[in-house]
Amino acid sequence: MERKRTNHILLVLFFGVLMGALDIAIVGPALPAMRSSFVAAGNRSLAWIFSVYVLFNLIGTPIMAKLSDIAGRRMIYALDLLLFAVGSLTVALSPSLPFVLLGRGIQGFGAGGIFPVASAVIGDTFPPERRGRALGLIGAVFGLAFIVGPALAGLILRFATWHWLFLINVPLALTLLGFGLRVLPSQKSSSPGRFDWSGTLLLSLTLASLAYGLNSVDTSNFTASILSAHVLPFLLAALALIPVTALIERKAASPVLPGNVFASRQLRIGYVLTAGAGVGEAAVVFMPSLAIASISGVQPHQASFLLMPVVLALAVGSPLAGRLLDGVGSRIVIMSGLVVAATGMVMLSVTAGSMLMFIVSGALIGLGLSALLGAPIRYITLNEVEPSNRSAAQGAVTVFTSSGQLLGAAVIGAIAASGNGSGSGYAHAFLVTGIVAAILIIAAARLKNRAAEAAQAERQKASAHEKS
- Spatial CB neighbours of 417, under 8 Å, sequence gap ≥ 6: 219, 220, 221, 222, 425
Please, which contacts does 26-31 make with residues 24 or more away whose CB atoms are closer than 8 Å? 26/149, 26/150, 26/152, 26/153, 26/165, 27/53, 28/150, 28/153, 29/149, 29/150, 29/153, 29/154, 29/157, 30/153, 30/157, 30/162, 30/165
Q: Are 6 and 121 in contact (CB under 8 A)?
A: no
Among 343, 347, 342, which residue's Cα sits nearest to residue 357?
347
Among 411, 406, 410, 405, which residue's Cα sits nearest to residue 432?
411
**Would you place residue 185 in the very low, low, confident or very high pLDDT band (cuts 50, 70, 90)?**
confident
Q: Are 405 and 279 in contact (CB under 8 A)?
A: yes
**pLDDT per position as a tens digit, 299-311:** 766 676 788 888 8
Which residue intervals of 160-219 are DSSP H helices? 163-167, 169-183, 197-215
Among 111, 150, 193, which residue's Cα sits nearest to residue 301?
150
**pLDDT per position as a tens digit, 143-153:** 677 777 777 88
**Which range among 49-53, 94-98, 190-194, 302-306 shows the weakest confidence by mean pLDDT?**
190-194
More confident residue, 418 or 93: 93
What is the pLDDT, as a whole number, of residue 455?
Answer: 81
| Residue 199 reports pLDDT greater than 80 | yes
Q: Are 238 and 209 in contact (CB under 8 A)?
A: yes
**pLDDT per position as a tens digit, 16-67:** 988 888 887 777 677 777 877 886 666 566 667 877 888 888 888 888 888 8
Among 11, 151, 176, which residue's Cα sits nearest to residue 81?
176
State the burial class of residue 152 (Cβ atoms within 10 Å of its Cβ: 0-12, 13-18, 19+): middle
**Of the segments 164-173, 209-218, 251-260, 393-402, which one has the largest average pLDDT value?**
164-173
Distance CA 153, CA 145 (A): 11
Distance CA 398, CA 113 (A): 10
More confident residue, 361 or 384: 361
pTM: 0.80
Distance CA 212, CA 59 (A): 12
What is the pLDDT, as a whole number, of residue 89?
Answer: 95
| Residue 458 reports pLDDT greater than 80 | no
Residue 220 DSSP one-character state: G
Residue 145 in 3-state DSSP?
helix
Rg (CA), the chain: 21
Give the chain's mean pLDDT: 84
What is the pLDDT, as a whole number, of residue 189?
Answer: 58
**Of the segments 213-222, 233-242, 325-334, 370-379, which one has the largest average pLDDT value?**
233-242
Average pLDDT over residues 394-418: 82
Distance CA 351, CA 138 (A): 33
Q: Of all helices (H) and strands (E), which one includes residue 140?
A: helix 128-159
SS3 content of the chain, % helix, strand, coil (to 5): 85, 0, 15
C-alpha distance from residue 93 to each of 97, 102, 103, 162 (Å): 11, 11, 9, 11
| Residue 464 reports pLDDT greater than 70 | no
| Residue 460 reports pLDDT greater than 60 | yes
Q: Are 192 and 113 in contact (CB under 8 A)?
A: no
- Spatial CB neighbours of 370, under 8 Å, sequence gap ≥ 6: 139, 143, 313, 314, 316, 317, 318, 320, 321, 337
Residue 255 DSSP one-character state: -
| Residue 191 reports pLDDT greater than 60 | no
What is the pLDDT, as a whole number, of residue 1?
Answer: 46
What is the pLDDT, as a whole number, of residue 305?
Answer: 77
Greatest Cα-to-Cα distance within the chain, rounded to the nearest angstrom: 66
| Residue 421 reports pLDDT greater than 50 | yes
What is the pLDDT, as a whole number, of residue 360?
Answer: 94
Among 128, 257, 126, which residue's Cα sits nearest to residue 185?
126
- Residue 258 Ramachandran class (φ > 0 left, ψ -120 to 50 alpha, else beta): beta
| Residue 438 reports pLDDT greater than 50 | yes
What is the pLDDT, as a whole number, of residue 44?
Answer: 61
